[in-house]
Chains A and B, each alone.
Chain A
Amino acid sequence: MPTAPLPHLARGVDHAAFPTLDPAGTIRFYRDVLGFPVVHSICAAGWGPEKHPDFVHFFFDIGNDDRIAFFHYFGFEPPMVSARGDAFARFNDEMPSFYIASRHLAIHVESAEHLNEYQHRLDLSDWPTELRVQHETIESIYTHDPNGYLLEITRALRPVTPQEDHDAALSVQALLDIADAGDLTLDALLRRKAELIVAHAEDRDPLPTPERVR
């Protein structure tokens, strides 16, 4: 455990990049259905030690100057084990759906009106909203993009409180402790966390978490 907080210098997502086998669907979905501006593109070839096909790399703005980017490799057909999964990873029938759906991108919006607007745009498209749900403190809509990637758009139902940050810090510390102890179960997590709750009951800034960004 570090003794002093490390300066927190990162400032959000520059871009998250994914391969696409369907560049036309991807452009229609992100640019034309969702209305995300195209902000950058690169054409290149594989010049490094691992030769690869000519490709185009293109970027959509997802707000905050953050970007989602795609690679399309011309003429490349990846060996895929099945139809389950997405353009990056395919799975056989042994893989449960919850695991496949665990990896996703969630884009933030400011209000219920804005969430409704994106739901409306999706519902008029070939990629309608598949699910709308209220979690603990957020409300989200979900769909799969033309590449099979799970996309979530979400709004906060209320601001996150300091005690929730405190709780998260205790959960993560408890997880680290039980992992180190070789006992990765929910039961062990809750027991270890109860100990940490009692130990840190009095101090208001108990764990050495990195400084928060203002």
Chain B
Amino acid sequence: MPTVYVLDVPENRPVVEVASRDDRVAVRAVGPYTRLSSSAPIVIDRRETGCRHAVWYSCLAGLAAGRVVQWDKNALRVEAS
């Protein structure tokens, strides 16, 4: 089950918000981080988050049971490894 960790700072909140629109994504606080895990691939559309590039490319703090298959100006996609 792919799992990512995102540091809970204001710039990253749109990332969590967009990711959690998928009902399969479970959201839980782990220390100062937000843990996103899903039974399906986690897909986040960058334009929907409105994040600047610098924020976008530094939003991912940790990765478990998954691998990044796409992380570009369009989307971040993490699948089960």
Interface residues of A in 105-139 (CB under 8 A from B): 133-137
By beta carbon, the residue of chain B nearest A190 is: B63
B20 CB to nearest A CB, Å: 18
A90 is an interface residue with CB less than 8 A from chain B: no
How many B residues face the partner with a CB closer than 8 A? 23
By beta carbon, the residue of chain B nearest A162 is: B32
Given contacts A136-B58, A201-B30, contact A194 B63 (CB under 8 A): yes
B60 is an interface residue with CB less than 8 A from chain A: yes
Contact A197 B9 (CB under 8 A): no
Contact among B3, B9, B54, B67 with A164 in the assembled complex (CB-CB below 8 Å): B9
A145 CB to nearest B CB, Å: 24
Contact A202 B31 (CB under 8 A): yes
By beta carbon, the residue of chain A nearest B63 is: A190
Contact among A161, A170, A200 with B9 in the assembled complex (CB-CB below 8 Å): A161
Contact A167 B64 (CB under 8 A): no
By beta carbon, the residue of chain B nearest A198 is: B30
Contact among B10, B11, B30, B67 with A197 in the assembled complex (CB-CB below 8 Å): B30
Contact A136 B54 (CB under 8 A): yes
Write out the residue numbers on chain B whose beta carbons fall within 8 Å of the beta carbon of A28.
Answer: none
Kindly supply a per-residue 1/0 record for chain A positions 151-183, scoring 1 wherever the CB is within 8 Å of any chain B CB and 0 otherwise.
Answer: 000000010011110110011000000000000
Contact A187 B7 (CB under 8 A): no
Contact B55 A136 (CB under 8 A): yes
Given contacts A134-B54, A197-B30, contact A191 B9 (CB under 8 A): no
Cα distance A171–B33 when bound, in Å? 13
Contact B9 A163 (CB under 8 A): yes
Kindly supply a per-residue 1/0 record for chain B positions 3-45, scoring 1 wherever the CB is within 8 Å of any chain A CB and 0 otherwise.
Answer: 1010111110000000000000000001111010000000000
